[in-house]
Amino acid sequence: MIDRMDKTTLLRLIQEEYGRFNALLAELSEEEMIAPGVEDDWSVKDILVHLTNWQTYMITRVRTALRGERPERRPDADMDRINTAIYASHREQPLHEVRLAFHHSYQVVIETLETLNDEDLAPGSRFRELMGEPALGHIAGNTFEHYREHGANIRAWLDKRRDTQI
């Protein structure tokens, strides 16, 4: 887990990993984007829904904390149930809508994080008390670390898929 990082570095990391993730998406056909089996039954489209949902959750929590209010926190024990519900609720959503929502949520992430200062990201900031966890870890886990995690899974799936088609 990351303990310290300034806002400039955080924004740079998020933008770089988002760029890498989008470069990977650009390699995929529409058929590959909706094919199940990338992560269990999930398609790349389902992963985008997942990422969008967690980015939106993070944005909501940060914005609530910025107002000096204590944001709600999803129970860690319910992560599988939450992810299953996210998956089920967006199964029929068209790919183009999913992609637009993902890119829009990323823009809102950047806009929201630009309002923070370096002190907000410090381990002992007001955010730790309000959010029940350091802001930096929560932000990283729902942005650049999340892009890396799912990007690696997509890359492995894509390489394996394309190797078997030769």
CATH code at position 160: 1.20.120.450
pLDDT at 64: 95
- 1 pLDDT higher than 70: no
Residue, of 129 and 165, whose pLDDT is higher: 129
pLDDT at 162: 81
Q: Is the residue at 1 inside a domain? A: no
pLDDT at 3: 76
Q: Is the residue at 146 inside a domain? A: yes
Each as own residue / partner, the long-range contacts of residues 67-72 (CB below 8 Å, 24 or more positions apart, any chain) are 68/126, 68/130, 69/130, 70/130, 70/131, 71/130, 71/131
- 128 pLDDT higher than 90: no
Q: Is the residue at 49 inside a domain? A: yes
- 76 pLDDT higher than 80: no
What span, in angstroms and rounded, lies between the C-alpha atoms of 4 and 131?
17
Residue, of 118 and 77, whose pLDDT is higher: 118
Q: Is the residue at 2 inside a domain? A: no
Closest CA to 67 of 138, 110, 105, 120: 120
Q: Is the residue at 126 inside a domain? A: yes
What span, in angstroms and rounded, lies between the C-alpha atoms of 78 and 98?
24
- Per-residue b or e along 20-39, where b marks 16 or more CB atoms closer than 10 Å to that residue's CB: ebeebbeeeeeebbebeebb
Q: Report residue 21's pLDDT band, with 50, 70 and 90 as the boundaries.
A: very high
Q: Which residues contact 18 (CB under 8 A, 6 or more apart)?
A: 106, 143, 144, 147
What span, in angstroms and rounded, lies between the C-alpha atoms of 137 and 92?
32
pLDDT at 87: 86
The total number of structural domains that make up the chain: 1
- 117 pLDDT higher than 90: yes
Q: Is the residue at 128 inside a domain? A: yes
- 74 pLDDT higher than 80: no
- 2 pLDDT higher than 90: no
Q: Is the residue at 86 inside a domain? A: yes
Amino acid at 64: T
Q: Is the residue at 160 inside a domain? A: yes
Q: Domain span at residue 36?
A: 7-164
